[in-house]
A and B are shown apart, each in its own frame.
Chain A
Amino acid sequence: MKILLALALLAFNFSACAAPMDAFEFDTKAQEKIFNKLNNELRCLVCQNQAIAESNAGLAKDLRAEIHSMLLAGKTEEQIKEFMVDRYGDYVLYDPPFKPMTWLLWIGPMAIFLMGLFYARRFIFQQKSSEAPGELSDEESARLRELQSELKLTDRDDAGKTDNTKKENRS
């Protein structure tokens, strides 16, 4: 049983190894780390909802190879990012930079949320203040008494009705 389990795990392991599309070799672990990081941070312009790490588009493959050779040539992460932005624009970055063009993008959702919060707060306070008891004018108190007595009448009516139905149920 244990052997079977081990074999199953091994098989799983092999398939996991086969998943990455093209194998790149690096001089150092650090290079490989940057490579993986960049591949996940750069957008593939062909399949726009994919990072170039997961895209099989021809361009993504080319860009992976490009990043690889730049790393081997000793380029830093920043230099490679700059290289990509110079060619494809900020759009290539999944994390767009904070600048006048993108202010709305960065601040917009927060601003809309705060505005909603502001109105919600005001709405709630308005509701509360309208519930607070205030002074009634004579006219209003008279109307209130009238309403209250009407209410009592209907209450009695309702009670009578329910009694009737109960009786009917019993019979």
Chain B
Amino acid sequence: MMQRFMPLIIFGLLVVLLAVGLTMDPRLVPSPLIGKPAPAFELPLLNGEGVFNSEELKGKITLLNVWASWCYACRQEHEVVKQLARSGMNIVGFNYKDKKQDAQQWLAQLGNPYQVVVADEDGRAAIDWGVYGAPETFLIDKDGIIRHKVIGPVSDQKNFDDLMAVVKEISGDNL
């Protein structure tokens, strides 16, 4: 009896396997950087003179928000980024492959929730962070370790919940 239904069972398993595959988003590539120290960079500030060194990320929980003025989804998530900033989150803006003027204008228009904004004009530092699009948001803990990465807008409910879950987890033991 069992044998008779074996092909059907195998077929069923295949259907499940393929169905799960179909519901996954191939654009989400898990970052190998989770659990590793934030890659070092020293980048010029978008507004004003001076540079920002990634060493300065240490000390408190920080979000590194990769954005660009050419990025539509960044505009979508911006309100939520501002909300996060208002709630006391330390957020560093990472302006990715953008023109300085466009980026400055974008912030002037939509508001600037960032403690500091660094400009990676040629995208070289972004390679070290495994950035492959914007927006992307990294959660860095007090010790400068990357704990989570959001690919796509944080305004997306699932992205937001996932991020907050990790924020809660890591702020619980060392806020």
Closest chain B CB from A45 CB (angstroms):
4
Q: Does B52 contact A (CB under 8 A)?
A: no
Residues of A contacting B148 with CB < 8 Å?
Answer: none
Inter-chain contacts of B133 with A (CB < 8 A): 45-46, 59
Number of B residues, CB within 8 Å of A: 21
- Is B42 engaged at the interface, CB distance under 8 Å to the other chain? no
B124 proximity list for chain A (CB < 8 A): 62, 66
A43 to B106 alpha-carbon distance, docked (Å): 32
Is B156 an interface residue, CB under 8 A from the partner?
no
Least distance between B9 CB and chain A CB atoms (Å): 11
**Which B residues touch A89, using CB under 8 A?**
29-32, 130
CB within 8 A of B32: which of A48, A59, A87, A119?
A87
Q: Is A88 at the interface (CB under 8 A from chain B)?
A: yes
The distance in angstroms between the C-alpha atoms of A111 and B80, with both chains bound, is 47
**Contact status A66-B127, CB under 8 Å:** yes
In the complex, are the beta carbons of B32 and A86 less than 8 A apart?
A: yes
* In the complex, chain B residues whose CB is within 8 Å of the CB of A62: 122-124, 127
Known A66-B127, A87-B127, A119-B7; contact A59-B132, beta-carbon cutoff 8 A: yes
Contacts of B129 in A (CB 8 A): 87
Render A24-37 as a binary contact track against B, CB cut-off 8 A, 1 for contact: 00000000000000
List CB contacts (< 8 Å) of A81-106 with chain B. Answer: 85-91
Contact among A63, A112, A115 with B127 in the assembled complex (CB-CB below 8 Å) = A63
Shortest B94–chain A CB gap in Å is 15
Contact present for B97 and A58 (CB under 8 Å): yes
Complex Cα–Cα for A91 and B31 (A): 10
Contact A87 B33, CB 8 Å, known A48-B26, A62-B127: yes
Contacts beyond the supplied A87-B32, A87-B127, A88-B29: 16 A-B pairs with Cβ under 8 Å: A45-B29, A48-B26, A48-B27, A58-B97, A58-B123, A59-B133, A62-B122, A63-B127, A85-B32, A86-B32, A88-B132, A89-B30, A91-B30, A112-B14, A119-B6, A119-B7
8 residue pairs of the A-B complex, CB under 8 angstroms, read: A46-B133, A62-B122, A62-B123, A62-B127, A87-B127, A89-B29, A91-B30, A112-B14
